Amino acid sequence: MKRVAASAPVTAPKESAPEQERRGRLLAAIYATVVLIATAGFVGLAVFVNQQDVITGFDAPVAQAIQSINVPVLDWILLHVSDLGWAPLDVVCVVAIAGALAALRLRLEAVVVVASTLLAGGVGTLTKDVVQRARPSATFVHLAGHLADFSFPSGHVIFATVLFGTTFGIVWIIWASSLLRNAVLVLLASLVLLMGPSRIYMGEHWPTDVLGAYCLGGLWVAGTIELLLALRPRVRPWWQGREFRRRWKPLV
C-alpha cells in the first residue's frame, strides 16, 4: 500500500514590500488625522465651553439623559468607577499598573507610564486654571457632591485615559494574542470608556468637560507611546527587558 504524503500546511501569503509600505502610509495618515481632530477638538472646546449656549444646547440635555439611566448594574458601575480617580484608589491603580509592568520586565514602560500619568494630571490642572469653567449646577442636573475646583477638563478622565489607555497600547503591542490578553484589553478599555459617563452621571462634570479630557488624554497617550517606541532602542538592555512582539517604529 502506498504511503500518502502529508499535505503542506497552508499559510497566508506574505505581503510584498510595496504593499507593506502602502499600508504603513495609510496607517500613518489615519493616525495623523485622528491626532489633528483630537487637537482641534480640545482647542475648540477650551475656547467655547464657557458660553451659556453650550450648556443649554448640548451639555444639559446630554447630562440629563445620562442621569436618567435606571439599570441596576449599570447604575452601580457609573456610581463607583469614579472612585478609581480619588485617593487612595488612584494611588493603588498607579502602583498596580507599574508593579505589573515591572513584574513582566517592562521596566522602562513602568517608569514612563507613572511619569506620564502624573504629568498629564498636572497639565489638566493647569488647563482648569486657565479655562476657569464652573462645575455643573443643580439648576440643570442632580449633583452627587459639591466640588470647589474648576470643571474643564475632567481630571478623572485624563487620569483613566492616560494610565489605562497607555497600558492598553503597551499590552496590545507586546503581548501575543490570547484569551487572557484580550480580557485584559477589554478591562482596560472599559475603565477608560466608563470613566467619562460616570463623571457626568455623578453630576460632577459637563459632557464637554469629558470630551475635552478624552481629546487631551488621547493625545497624551499617543505621545507617550511614541516616546516609548523612540526610547526603547536607546536605553540599556536592563531597561528594555522583554522584547516587543512587533518591531514597531515611531510614526512621528
Which residue range is the domain that position 232 belongs to? Answer: 33-240
Can you give the pLDDT at residue 11? Answer: 47
Can you give the pLDDT at residue 10? Answer: 45
With respect to residue 78, please indicate whether it lies within any of the assigned structural domains: yes
Residue of 141, 139, 140 whose CA lies nearest to 67: 141
With respect to residue 156, please indicate whether it lies within any of the assigned structural domains: yes
Our CA angle for 141, 216, 186, nearest 5°, is 80
Can you give the pLDDT at residue 25? Answer: 82
Give the integer Cα–Cα distance in Å for 252 and 71.
44
Measuring CA to CA, how many Å separate 22 from each of 15, 18, 19, 148, 187?
10, 6, 5, 51, 33
Q: What share of the chain is helix, strand, coil (3-state, %, to 5)?
A: 70, 0, 30
Give the integer Cα–Cα distance in Å for 49 and 34.
21
Our CA angle for 162, 130, 65, nearest 5°, is 60
With respect to residue 23, please indicate whether it lies within any of the assigned structural domains: no
Measuring CA to CA, how many Å separate 198 from each of 83, 155, 219?
10, 13, 21
What's the one-letter identity of residue 189?
A
With respect to residue 39, please indicate whether it lies within any of the assigned structural domains: yes
Can you give the pLDDT at residue 250? Answer: 55
With respect to residue 11, please indicate whether it lies within any of the assigned structural domains: no
With respect to residue 14, please indicate whether it lies within any of the assigned structural domains: no
Q: Report the chain's terminal Cα–Cα distance, integer Å.
A: 63
With respect to residue 195, please indicate whether it lies within any of the assigned structural domains: yes
- SS3 label, residue 109: helix
Can you give the pLDDT at residue 66? Answer: 96
What is the chain's pLDDT, residue by residue, as a tens digit (252 residues)?
455 555 444 444 555 667 767 777 887 888 889 999 999 999 999 999 999 999 999 999 999 999 999 998 999 999 999 999 999 999 999 999 999 999 999 999 999 999 999 999 999 999 999 999 999 999 999 998 888 899 999 999 999 999 999 999 999 988 888 899 999 999 999 999 999 999 999 999 999 999 999 999 999 999 999 999 889 888 887 777 766 655 555 555
**Count of residues in the chain:** 252
With respect to residue 75, please indicate whether it lies within any of the assigned structural domains: yes
Give the integer Cα–Cα distance in Å for 249 and 13.
23
Joined together, the cell numbers standing for residue 29 give 495618515
What's the CATH code of the domain at 117?
A: 1.20.144
Question: Using an 8 Å Cβ cutoff, are 156 and 195 in contact?
Answer: yes
Can you give the pLDDT at residue 12? Answer: 45
- Mean pLDDT (the chain, rounded): 89
Q: How many domains does the chain have?
A: 1
Considering the entire predicted model, what is its pTM? 0.88
Task: Tell me which residue has cell 463623571.
Answer: 199
Residue of 206, 113, 194 whose CA lies nearest to 153: 206
Please report the DSSP string for 150-183 in residue order: --SS-HHHHHHHHHHHHHHHHHHHHSPS-HHHHH
- SS3 label, residue 146: coil
